[in-house]
């Protein structure tokens, strides 16, 4: 745990990446697996993870992200795109996966399957979109923590136009919405913010024990 906390103190939202440094494939696969293993409500993972390798696409996304240089300079660009809604077919596919993975008959899962569909169907389309978007933050948390263990920098971004990114990547047609962006790579020696002391609330300000 002491190493975990040290790594949390080491990481920061990198403002300038070293464009010459690329993440090793085996390390990036570890980051992908950390995202894949993330928790989510019901375990549904109602999102897609887009890894944008195309320099042309990254150049198009940069203006939609307030011109931030991390978009084009980082080793990797990841877009977390939540499903705008969840239909019963997606829930059914999830339970098929449970049945196959755990070797449990679908009939034994029918009660929970019906319960889950009922709770999701209670949500309006807007509420489903918001709920699904929240799940991407859990996946981002796993990425941040795994990257810090590997001394890989990540800058999480909400500073972009989702509508513009959706249009660039054709997400609307897929029933997806860009909720988060993460640029991943290695900090530049010229990024002065890496030397700033981390600013957080004190325990007394942050925690309430009842």
Report the DSSP beta bridge partners of residue 144: none
CATH for 2-206 is 3.40.109.10
Residue 8's pLDDT is 96
Using one digit for the tens of pLDDT, what is the confidence trace for 140-150?
Answer: 999 999 999 99
Tell me how far apart the alpha carbons of residues 136 and 39 are, in angstroms, rounded to a whole number.
10
Asked if the model's pLDDT at residue 86 lies above 80, the reply is yes
10 Å CB burial of residue 37 (0-12, 13-18, 19+) is exposed
**Percentage of the chain surpassing pLDDT 70?**
100
Query: Which residues have a Cβ under 8 Å from the Cβ of 177 and sit 6 or more positions away?
Result: 81, 82, 83, 84, 129, 133, 162, 166, 171
Q: With contact defined as beta carbons under 8 Å apart, do 60 and 179 qualify?
A: no
Q: Average pLDDT, whole number, for the chain? A: 97
Report domain extents, the chain: 2-206
**pLDDT average, residue stretch 176-186:** 98
């Amino acid at each position: 745990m002491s190493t975990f906390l040290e790594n949390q103190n080491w990481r920061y939202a990198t403002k300038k990446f070293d464009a010459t440094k690329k993440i090793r494939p085996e390390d990036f696969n570890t980051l992908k697996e950390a995202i894949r293993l993330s928790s989510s409500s019901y375990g549904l993972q109602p999102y897609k993870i887009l890894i944008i390798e195309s320099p042309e696409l990254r150049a198009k996304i940069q203006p939609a992200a307030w011109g931030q240089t991390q978009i084009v300079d980082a080793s990797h660009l990841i877009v977390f795109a939540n499903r705008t809604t969840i239909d019963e077919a997606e829930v059914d596919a999830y339970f098929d996966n449970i049945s196959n993975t755990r070797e449990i008959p679908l009939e034994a899962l029918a009660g929970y399957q019906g319960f889950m569909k009922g709770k999701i169907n209670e949500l309006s389309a807007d509420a489903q979109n918001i709920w699904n978007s929240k799940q991407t933050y859990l996946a981002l948390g796993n990425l941040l923590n795994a990257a810090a263990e590997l001394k890989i920098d990540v800058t999480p971004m909400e500073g972009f136009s989702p509508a513009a990114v959706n249009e660039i990547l054709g997400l609307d047609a897929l029933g997806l919405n860009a909720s988060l962006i993460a640029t991943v790579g290695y900090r530049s020696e010229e990024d002065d913010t890496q030397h700033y002391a981390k600013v957080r609330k004190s325990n007394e300000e942050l925690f309430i024990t009842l």
